Amino acid sequence: MKHRTKISLIAGACLVLSLAASSLVLHRTDLLRPQATLDEVLFLNSPKLIKRASLGYDGLMACIYWTRAVQYFGSQYHHNTPNYNLLAPLLEITTHLDPHLTVAYDFGSSFLASRQYGAGEPERAIALMNYGIQNNPDDWRLYYDLGFIYYMELTDYKGAADAFDRGSRVPNAHPFVKILAAQMAQHAGEYQTARMLWSATYQTTKDKQIKENALEHLRALRVDEDVTHLQEAVTHFGERTGRLPASMTELIGSMGLPKVPVDPDGHPYKLTPEGRIEVRQPDDFSFATQGLPPGYKPIPKFHSQP
């Protein structure tokens, strides 16, 4: 073997070994300092400063901050951390860097607004949506999202009706928005309106994840509605007979139904000895608010088939 080849082989082997050793040591060091590299830090929190510092490449910076917001939200949610302090600043920076990045308003507002699955800051979500509408006045989806927050998170029919009404006047707005505006103005039944909102979301979005999310909400709404009706029937039965129904068969017999109602997956609802109506597989209805065992904490998962 030539001398030069020998040296090359030794140097190559040293390179690979050193790289492997340094990676191993770094991995061990990370274990000693858990979360050291993942601290919640927003070194620069002024959107204007970041825009200036981006030297005109603000579009790319907006994409980076949006990805950071998504990762932050996902990480907090995944680790069940109730603290979403950085979410609003991250979204504000993202939208300031690129005011036309509508996906940041669309998803960001739902991350911010939801009390059940998000930061529970509907007021900041509304401020974000208003900033989005100000910069993209011809995008009817933003008015729709704003109305959605007013209705779902604040139960503010007036605010929702106003948002849907403004959205319905935007050229090429989906016809649903006009109907929703009218429905909000009439303070329509909750389940019916919620179903309409989620159906509109399901039909108008092209995004697979939003579709799945809307579908999951529609399934949960059906469960909520069924359980509410059945629970009312249990109450009526108690008022009439002075006792709880002994079985689901007795309950549906008193309601005049031919068979036991089933959930969207085809499983019959069950009646507990305490007189509660519950679903058999609560994990399959992550957004349901009715029919869950006491103290049950849902784990969101999505179905791709209606």
Partner 1 sequence: MRARIAHIASNTFREAVRDRVLYNLIAFVLLLSGAAILVGQISIEIEKLVVINLGLTAVSLFGVVIAIFIGIGLVSKEIEKRTLYTVLSRPVQRWEFIIGKFFGLAGTLVVNAFFMAIGVFGALFYVSHKFVRADALILVALYFIVLEFLIICSLSLLFSSFSSPLLSAVFAFSLFVIGSFAEDLRNFAGMAHGLSRWLAMGAAYLVPNFSAFNVISSIAHEQPVAGQLVLHNTLYALFYAAMALSGAVLIFERRDLK
| Nearest approach, Cβ of residue 306 and partner 1 (Å) | 22
Under rule CB under 8 A, residue 100 binds partner 1: yes
| Residue 259 and residue 252 in contact, taking contact as beta carbons nearer than 8 Å | yes
How far apart are the C-alpha atoms of 63 and 94, rounded to whole Å?
7
Q: Which of 72, 76, 93, 98 binds partner 1 (CB under 8 A)?
A: 98
Q: Which of 18, 45, 71, 247 binds partner 1 (CB under 8 A)?
A: 71
Under rule CB under 8 A, residue 49 binds partner 1: no
Under rule CB under 8 A, residue 103 binds partner 1: yes
Q: Which is nearer to partner 1, 92 or 162 (CB)?
A: 92
Under rule CB under 8 A, residue 196 binds partner 1: no
Under rule CB under 8 A, residue 101 binds partner 1: yes
| Nearest approach, Cβ of residue 93 and partner 1 (Å) | 15
Q: Which of 66, 143, 148, 150 binds partner 1 (CB under 8 A)?
A: 66
x-marked contacts with partner 1 along 151-190 as a string, rule CB under 8 A: ----------------------------------------
Options 95-103, 254-262, 267-275, 290-298: segment touching partner 1 (CB under 8 A): 95-103
Q: Which of 70, 196, 255, 260 binds partner 1 (CB under 8 A)?
A: 70
Contacts of 282 (CB under 8 A, 6+ apart): 288, 291, 292, 293, 296, 298
Under rule CB under 8 A, residue 191 binds partner 1: no
| Nearest approach, Cβ of residue 19 and partner 1 (Å) | 18
CA 17 and chain centroid, separation:
46
x-marked contacts with partner 1 along 232-271 as a string, rule CB under 8 A: ----------------------------------------
Options 51-59, 123-131, 157-165, 240-248: segment touching partner 1 (CB under 8 A): 51-59
Residues that bind partner 1 in the complex, under the rule CB under 8 A = 52, 55-60, 62-63, 66-67, 70-71, 98, 100-101, 103, 107, 207, 209
